Structure 1
Amino acid sequence: MKIILRTFCVLLLSSAVSSSVFAKGYTLVAISKTDHTLVFVNPGTLEILGKAAVGNDPHEVVVSSDGKHAYVSNTGSGKFHEINVIDIASKKALASIDTGAMMGPHGMSFLNSKLWFTAEGAKSLGRIDVNTGKIDLILGVGQNRTHMMQVSADEKQVYATNVDSNTVSIFDNLMLPPPIPPIGAPLPGAKPQMGWLQTVIPVGKGSEGFDITPDRKELWTTDAHTGTISVIDIASKKVVKTVDTKTLGISRIKFTADGKRALISSLRTGDLLIYDVAKKTEIKKLNLGKGAAHILITPDGTRAFISCTPAGYIAIVDLNTLTLVKNFEIGPRPDGMDWAPEL
């Protein structure tokens, strides 16, 4: 899930796009975990345009801001250390990035030529300068199974869920006072320095997916084991409301661009919940079959694509009528998805 609109998406939003031509301007890229491929799909015709080989345990995919490359994380239960790089124009795999001791890359965000990622096996977050392929920042989280993450547009805040610790981490990039030695006065000439301050917020059990409201005021995280949503006020960094969805296994959440609705998927029941954000109440529940996971909304806001990983297909939901349009297959166990420029 990303926090920025890419140039090609912004261009789409500047003109009306009817349901019959909503595919114009972009391509769906989606992972088949069993086939170990990144699949390129025309989202209007659902034609498969090509496939690129990825690693042995692909989970998430993110497209660079310029639309040239796709990055695929391979988690390996916290043991793998590979992020695949795919050239989108040619649909070919390039040299992968070795994350080294930053084991278990999973959730990712892309911002300003930097690829951010969670490292589940290292209890940390990392940032890669894609121009050099080198990790230039590591933030120690100290929580178990740091899973999904986002970065604010100004890079002043980083957000992450920690599934097995039942927490959310918010990192603030702050101007910190000069260091003070254990004994004696501050060092002569010592100056304030930028530093990252982490706030760890306890939430419900199994905090996995999350999203931030478009006004940047609230963070909603899905608590898979309790079927609740923990609503965090970002300014105070406190849980201000717990919403009981009465649906276990909720794993992903995505707000519509206008901030009025939230889509919530359940990997256990296969339900897609549509919530009124202001009222924090359910509008509708759709059963999509076996296990609903990753959620991706078209840039024109008319449809949602939901990876139904156990069922082996991707479901398309009309967001105007809140009805299932159809299911289609890209390969066994579809998972992470993103938008790339039209091919």
Structure 2
Amino acid sequence: MRTIYFLILLFCTSSMVSQNGTLIVLNKSDDTADLIDLKTKQSVATIPTGNGPHEVAVSFDGTLAVVTNYGRGEGWPGSSLTIIDIANKKAIKTVQLDYKAPHGLEFITEDQLLVTCEASKKLIQVNIETGLVEKAIDTDQETSHMVVYAPISNKAFVANIRSGSVSVIDLNTDQLEKIINTGEGAEGVALTADGTSVWITNRAEDTVNVLDVKTLETLEEFTSEKFPIRVKTTSDGKYGLISNAQSGDVKVFDAKSKKLIKTISMNVTALEKEASRLFQDFDDSPVPVGILIHPNNTFAFVANTNADIITIIDLETLEISGRLTAGKEPDGLGFSPLILN
């Protein structure tokens, strides 16, 4: 009886924990960020950002969210970052940049983060406390879109869509170390749980490359159809999730064997055709792009940019367990453990 009680308590505790925290959703067409309480599944605040917010990174302590204002329409390229105080549900600072079209970003310390600047072909390091750009390093490639940081080698890996490559930046020397041609449309990039390799999705070739973060050698290549645009790995080393914009699904791979475990259709269709939305030629695909995996590895959230819906995937059953709504054209996702009132 005591064992049964313990298992029930453990299950309930796990379920309660999995529902806690705040999901940050960027709405590209609304120029806003929604803060969604994961327990109630409701937005508790909608915060204005700059023009065309695309990606978001959350500080290590979960108190701040930094948004890249990429720009859109006549406002492209953008040149700023919006800093959001999550607990107080408001933007507290705008960092103006001399570099254009900021997009992918990742914290490397509590105050410092790396930011790709597409139109300037740069990777910059920004101190959000001082608002200063501390480093600006050439990628020497076109459309430097997303970035991931590998602590064990102190290198940054920048995916360059138009060049079909990855720029490897050595942060010890602040130099471009190597350009690796991975495949047409290199865009998504993620670090594995053990920190030893990165996955790169090549959206125009339907392939994924795995690179060693120290030797920079290509370890493996496998297929993910159609139009693999983002990738995330679970922190327990179990899964790699890839969103495929054209086929409207998320493919779940075994992180070690790289074998496809399951294809999860988003089961929603695109809304009305609008010139402002990307990938109009993908028919009725909801265009899943941004992925966020909850730190406890029980759920994943997927932004369906052309359906204005965030899909929740249960990572234990690999089934869709719910949906969230925010604003128009949701894309970048972030997580904070803070519980907002």
TM-score by structure 1 length?
0.85
Pairs within 5 Å for 1:125-144? 125-144=123-142
Q: Deviations over 1:70-114 (max 9, x none)?
A: 1111112662101111121221122311111x1000001112210
Q: 1:45 to 1:232 in 2, by over 3 A?
A: same
* C-alpha contact 2:304 2:330 (8 A) present in aligned 1: yes
* C-alpha contact 2:148 2:189 (8 A) present in aligned 1: no
Q: How many residues align?
A: 307
- Residue 252 of structure 1 corresponds to which residue in structure 2? 230
* C-alpha contact 2:150 2:213 (8 A) present in aligned 1: no
Distance 2:66 2:171 in 1: 25
Max Rg structure: 1
* C-alpha contact 1:17 1:300 (8 A) present in aligned 2: no
> Aligned letter for 2:64?
H
- Residue 79 of structure 1 corresponds to which residue in structure 2? 77
* C-alpha contact 2:150 2:191 (8 A) present in aligned 1: no
Does 2:131 correspond to 1:104? no
- Residue 311 of structure 2 corresponds to which residue in structure 1? 315
For the residue of structure 2 that corresponds to 1:45, the secondary structure is coil
- Residue 65 of structure 2 corresponds to which residue in structure 1? 70
- Residue 167 of structure 2 corresponds to which residue in structure 1? 169
Distance 2:135 2:174 in 1: 11
* C-alpha contact 1:211 1:254 (8 A) present in aligned 2: yes
Distance 1:115 1:282 in 2: 33
Query: Which residue among 225, 229, 238 is the counterpart of 2:208?
Result: 229
Unaligned runs of 5+ in 2: 1-10, 269-285
> Aligned letter for 1:285?
T
Q: Deviations over 1:211-247 (max 9, x none)?
A: 11112222111110111111222232122322122x1
Percent same amino acid at aligned positions?
Answer: 32
Deviation at 1:139, TM superposition (A): 0.8
* C-alpha contact 1:262 1:276 (8 A) present in aligned 2: yes
Deviation at 1:195, TM superposition (A): 4.6
Distance 2:214 2:51 in 1: 40
For the residue of structure 1 that corresponds to 2:261, the secondary structure is strand
- Residue 320 of structure 2 corresponds to which residue in structure 1? 324
> Aligned letter for 2:161?
V
Instruction: Say what the alpha-carbon RMSD is for the aligned residues.
Output: 1.8
For the residue of structure 1 that corresponds to 2:119, the secondary structure is helix
Pairs within 5 Å for 1:197-276? 197-245=176-224, 247-276=225-254
Deviation at 1:20, TM superposition (A): 4.2
> Aligned letter for 1:164?
R
For the residue of structure 2 that corresponds to 1:89, the secondary structure is coil
Q: Deviations over 1:283-320 (max 9, x none)?
A: 00011031111111111110100001111100000000
Q: Deviations over 1:139-174 (max 9, x none)?
A: 111100101112233682111101110001212244
Deviating more after overlay: 288-297 vs 118-127: 288-297
Distance 1:82 1:70 in 2: 14
Q: 1:319 to 1:84 in 2, by over 3 A?
A: same
- Residue 122 of structure 2 corresponds to which residue in structure 1? 124
* C-alpha contact 1:21 1:44 (8 A) present in aligned 2: no
Deviation at 1:129, TM superposition (A): 1.3
- Residue 188 of structure 1 corresponds to which residue in structure 2? none
> Aligned letter for 2:339?
E
Distance 2:90 2:165 in 1: 38
